[in-house]
Amino acid sequence: MARKNFSCSSTLFLVLLAVGSFFATYNLLTMAVHYKGANSLGLSNDPIVEMPDNMKRARGSKALFHVALTATDAPYSKWQCRIMYYWYKKTKDKAGSDMGKFTRILHSGEPDNLMEEIPTFVVDPLPSGLDRGYIVLNRPWAFVQWLERATIEEEYILMAEPDHIFVNPLPNLARGEFPAGYPFFYIKPADNEKIIRKYFPKENGPVTNVDPIGNSPVIIRKDLLEKIAPTWMNVSLRMKDDPETDKTFGWVLEMYAYAVASALHGVQHILRKDFMLQPPWDFETGNRFIIHYTYGCDYNMKGELTYGKIGEWRFDKRSHLRGPPPRNLPLPPPGVPESVVTLVKMVNEATANIPNWDTTE
């Protein structure tokens, strides 16, 4: 495959990383209690968790970002992409938005029936068996191909996911060479230093240089992502090939790989709590920008959360693996957080307005 030249503090390590990786050959974890405790108080007054020194963009400047997400041709992925694209179109031109064009990066290797509905760029999946059933490993490889082959007009890129909904107009949160990312409570490089050091040697700096992020949501300058993406892919493959790393990181392995790859290139992210909310643990949409509906929302008819137990009322994307949810889903009972109510209302609006919704395959 083609390579892009890149520099970092340890060139030899990265070369070995790139070569070695080619010889290497979402069950959701139950982290709800921790998440609830960490987020029950909501956002702090300052939504910026960490702002690197010496970085500012002039007020009033407008730097558009290209919205890009990776997807498969499975029905489960398709209906989420359709809802995501609907809300992109509704939000793109509102005041405060810096959104540019949109691309669904389809890593099935073949066009599908959404090509005319959603701007799509088809790339190849990893060779058969290389992902070992962990389909998310296709994400970095998809970005590598797209960045090499596509014409991308915008200077910045938002890496998004199918289960993202734009709840407020999203400005460019990045600042020059400092991308913006969302701090995930369960990405803990310092707590996993022994494993992180397999891929981020001591000569590259302290483990705290590895940000507590995944690749999404991230707004990043295109030239930075072009450098990081091949390393992200190679680190992902090496991590998956290492039994200790694979067992420890599980379904978030590829997220750790992006964080490590960024650090190897000396890239530090601005950590924005307001980038995203995740119902049911975040109770209000407020001024946040993206709803991420990765968690199931289960409640009894008193409006009480029954997480881990199927509720009398529920919304869970995994209930619709083989096809789209029906139109006009019932709203939650009284007492359920505003974020969950807003999520269901936004899903209902999208499905009511997307043509041929029930035929998504």
The one-letter amino acid code at 348 reads: N
* Cα angle 314, 39, 286; round to 5: 75
pTM, rounded to two decimals: 0.85
Write out the chain's pLDDT in tens, 361 residues: 433 343 444 444 443 443 343 333 333 333 333 333 334 333 334 455 555 544 544 444 579 999 999 999 999 999 999 999 999 999 999 999 999 999 999 999 999 999 999 999 999 999 988 988 899 999 999 999 999 999 999 999 999 999 999 999 999 999 999 999 999 999 999 999 999 999 999 999 999 999 999 999 999 999 999 999 999 999 999 999 999 999 999 999 999 999 999 999 999 999 999 999 999 999 999 999 999 999 999 999 999 999 889 999 999 999 999 999 999 999 999 999 999 999 999 999 999 999 999 875 6
Q: How many CB atoms lie within 10 A of CB 130?
A: 17
Q: What is the pLDDT of residue 280?
A: 97
CATH number at residue 128: 3.90.550.10
Helices 253-264/222-241 angle, 10° precision: 130
Q: Is residue 278 part of a domain?
A: no
Radius of gyration of the chain (CA): 20
286-304 as b/e: b if 16+ CB within 10 A? eebbbbbbebbbbbeeeee
Q: Is residue 223 part of a domain?
A: yes
Q: What is the pLDDT of residue 51?
A: 56
Q: Is residue 97 part of a domain?
A: yes
Q: Is residue 244 part of a domain?
A: yes
Q: For residues 134 and 55, what is the distance between their CA atoms, to the nearest angstrom?
A: 37
Q: What is the pLDDT of residue 261?
A: 98
Q: Is residue 156 part of a domain?
A: yes
Q: What is the pLDDT of residue 358?
A: 84
Q: Is residue 175 part of a domain?
A: yes
The total domain count for the chain is 1
Structure tokens at 161: 């996911």
Q: What is the pLDDT of residue 55?
A: 53
Q: Is residue 188 part of a domain?
A: yes
Q: Is residue 123 part of a domain?
A: yes
What residues make up the domain containing 265?
A: 65-271
